A and B are shown apart, each in its own frame.
Chain A
Amino acid sequence: MKKEKILSAEKFISVNKSRGREPVLVRFRKDWMLYVMLMPGLVYFLIFKYGPMVGLITAFQDYNSMLGWFGSTFVGLKHFKRLFSDANFLNIFRNTLVLAFYNIIIFFPLPIIFALLINEVKSIKYKNVVQSVFYIPHFVSWVVVAGICTTLFSSQSGALTDMISNLFGRKVSILSEESFFAPLITGQVIWKETGWGTIMFLAALSGVDLQLYEAAKIDGANRRQQMWHITLPALKTTIITLLILRMGTFLNTGFEQIFLMLNTMNRSVGEVFDTYVYQTALTNGRISYGTAVGLFKSVVSLFLVIGTNKIAKKAGEEGVY
């Protein structure tokens, strides 16, 4: 703990040294190599990320791709008006939020917990085996996952349906009942992505100095205290960065997964922005409308990211910018 504080003090000094003490041009000439190294990345972002952003203008047009951006008529906020006045808009928003919250509150901590648990295992062989097995579901496509769920939970012939019905005391159909949708989707995400998510944390944990553990043990710390004071702080920056970045995709629920599990019965809780856009805009080629919905989502995410980043910075952490 002490070491960390000293480091940040030094960083603090070095940052201050370079900020405002010397005029910009002098810094520029001194650090010229840094800017040369920046060039490839900068050029990349300008051409392939900011260049295409011009296309966002289609959200305000009736985009005719044959005539291009300059040939299409400008319609202002027509598409946004249509989005907000859609009878289902609030419903879709609510569904998306519900899934987002389930995801962040239930799914997000799990890779961290699992990474810590794996870290605690003493046998390296067992650890390696468990790690390698955990991430396999990540490679199973959503189509297969949906197929597995149908096999397990179908009202007609699901392998687990009878067992679950007995648990609940009534006939349940997990695939169609509305109250099961969010847990089902979250459960799928947990199965598929937890293992993959531990990779980043395990990498961070491998950077922890073993001597810290030795010193703590000698100081009489038990395992719980070691985890709380050494292991967790090592993950803190990663966790916070990931959380802020997660805010950037808050309204994204993953189109393919939801689309596969959507059916007539659960549509009222299952229709989210991504599936809505797919059905109304992408399959029908209504590019402008699709762009408008995407733009709306992006703006919401922007506010979330700015907000979360500010909070993180106030708490003394390094934000994402």
Chain B
Amino acid sequence: MKEKSKIKQSTGSRIFDCFNILFLGCAGLLCIVPFLYVIAASVSPLSDILTRKFFIIPVHFDFTAYKYLFSSIQLMKSMGISVMVTVVGTVLSMSMTLLTAYVLSKPQLIGRRVLNALVVFTMLFSGGMIPTYLVVYKMNLIDSFLALWLPGCISAYNMILVRTSISALPSELEEAATVDGCNYFQCFYKIVIPLIKPTIATFSLFYAVGYWNSYFDATIYLNDSSKWPIQVWLRQIVLLSSGGFSDTGSISELGYIPPQNVSYAVIVFATIPILCVYPFVQKYFTKGMMVGSVKG
């Protein structure tokens, strides 16, 4: 059964492969070129940026933008906070999502249809910022990191999709396990979770990106500015350096305005960490994860 496929590839198939690779390559370039520009701009002097002296490869090198960023202790500390918030948040969200999705995928759950409908309902209707704030306030979570994790803990959208992928698993697997004496939680933990690794990888990535990029919740729920994640500060820097503040005060303010190339450095700084996460996720996307799980 494992002999190499001796079927020859038709010419049509080979032409398709050629075009495919070319097409994907072009699309890939289109995606990455603007980002390469951003990286190049972040290490160029301001005058080069304004006069557009370069395209992807910088003409002159000027690291003042990065010097400015790294010299700020607050920025480094908030980077650490972002990492912590993202990791804990992702683990928490993923656990809750998987658990709830598993339960809601079981046909024998009483009121399953109603519960699922209620979940969908929350995707469509929302009380808004003020009521959510009041709930968080009444639970005494203001100024606590839990306010960043709890209100958005389970994304209904993500949960529905995870539920779909759990439902797609053949039911014989669990039935076999139940025969062997597994209860629901053991089935969940030992059987289902290992089988939906690509799904877990995907949605962990989605949650992680969501937590990493969040800044609004932090400014609303966290009064103490030393607790803010890095996105808050990075946004401030970008707004500041692009002259976004109409009226910062009377002229006697000797406020310092970071030059424009700092915004580019900020974009790189904010994005690269999360870009590094993807390769780890990617290894779960190898084909044929389910091979061998169901015999016959």
Contact = CB atoms under 8 A, between A and B. Distances in A.
A and B from one complex: yes
Interface of A: 7, 10-11, 14-15, 18-19, 24, 27-28, 31, 33-35, 37-38, 40-42, 44-45, 47-56, 58, 65, 114, 117-118, 120-122, 126, 128-141, 143-144, 148, 191, 195, 199-200, 202-211, 214, 217, 222-223, 237-238, 241-242, 245, 248, 287, 290-291, 294-295, 298, 301-302, 305, 318, 320-321
A211 B20 CA distance: 24
Given A53-B131, A56-B127, A321-B120, 20 more contacts: A10-B170, A10-B172, A11-B107, A31-B108, A41-B99, A45-B118, A45-B122, A45-B154, A52-B131, A114-B24, A132-B279, A135-B31, A135-B278, A140-B35, A203-B285, A207-B290, A209-B288, A245-B160, A302-B124, A318-B167
B277 to A, nearest CB: 11
B27 to A, nearest CB: 7
Contact of A121 (B24, B31, B139): B24
A185 B49 CA distance: 26
Contact of A140 (B13, B28, B34, B100): B34
Question: Which of A31, A48, A58, A214 neighbours the largest number of chain B CB atoms within 10 Å of its CB?
Answer: A48
B109 A34 contact: yes
A209 B292 CA distance: 9
A305 B121 CA distance: 10
Contacts of B165: 204, 207, 238
Contacts of A237: 164, 168
Given A55-B130, A202-B285, A318-B164, A40 B110 contact: no
B202 A199 contact: yes
8 contacts: A7-B170, A10-B171, A49-B126, A128-B282, A148-B34, A191-B31, A241-B164, A248-B123
B159 to A, nearest CB: 8
A40 B96 contact: yes
A33 B185 contact: yes
Contacts of B168: 207, 237
Interface of B: 1, 5, 7, 10, 13, 16-17, 20-21, 23-25, 27-28, 30-32, 34-35, 38, 96, 99-100, 102-104, 106-110, 113, 115-128, 130-132, 134-135, 139, 150-151, 153-154, 156-157, 159-161, 164-165, 167-168, 170-172, 175, 183-185, 188, 198-199, 201-202, 205, 209, 238, 267, 271, 274-275, 278-279, 282, 284-291
A-B pairs with the 9 shortest C-beta distances?
A55-B131, A41-B100, A52-B127, A55-B127, A18-B108, A52-B131, A321-B116, A203-B198, A210-B288
Contacts, number: 250
A14 B171 contact: yes
B157 A245 contact: yes
Contacts of A126: 21
Contact of B286 (A7, A45, A206, A217): A206
Contacts of B291: 209-211
Given A40-B100, A206-B287, A208-B288, A136 B135 contact: no
A206 B198 contact: yes
A45 B119 contact: yes
A238 B285 CA distance: 16
Contact of A37 (B108, B124, B184, B285): B184
Contacts of A318: 164, 167
B135 A140 contact: no
B128 A55 contact: yes
Contacts of A137: 31, 34-35
Contacts of A141: 267
Nearest to B287: A206
Nearest to B274: A139
A222 B5 CA distance: 13
Contacts of B25: 130
A287 B134 CA distance: 15
A37 B13 contact: no
A144 B274 contact: no
A248 B269 CA distance: 34
Nearest to B288: A210
Contacts of B134: 52, 55
B110 A132 contact: no
A35 B275 CA distance: 38
Contacts of A133: 28, 31-32
Contacts of B28: 129-130, 133-134
B148 to A, nearest CB: 13
A97 B167 CA distance: 33
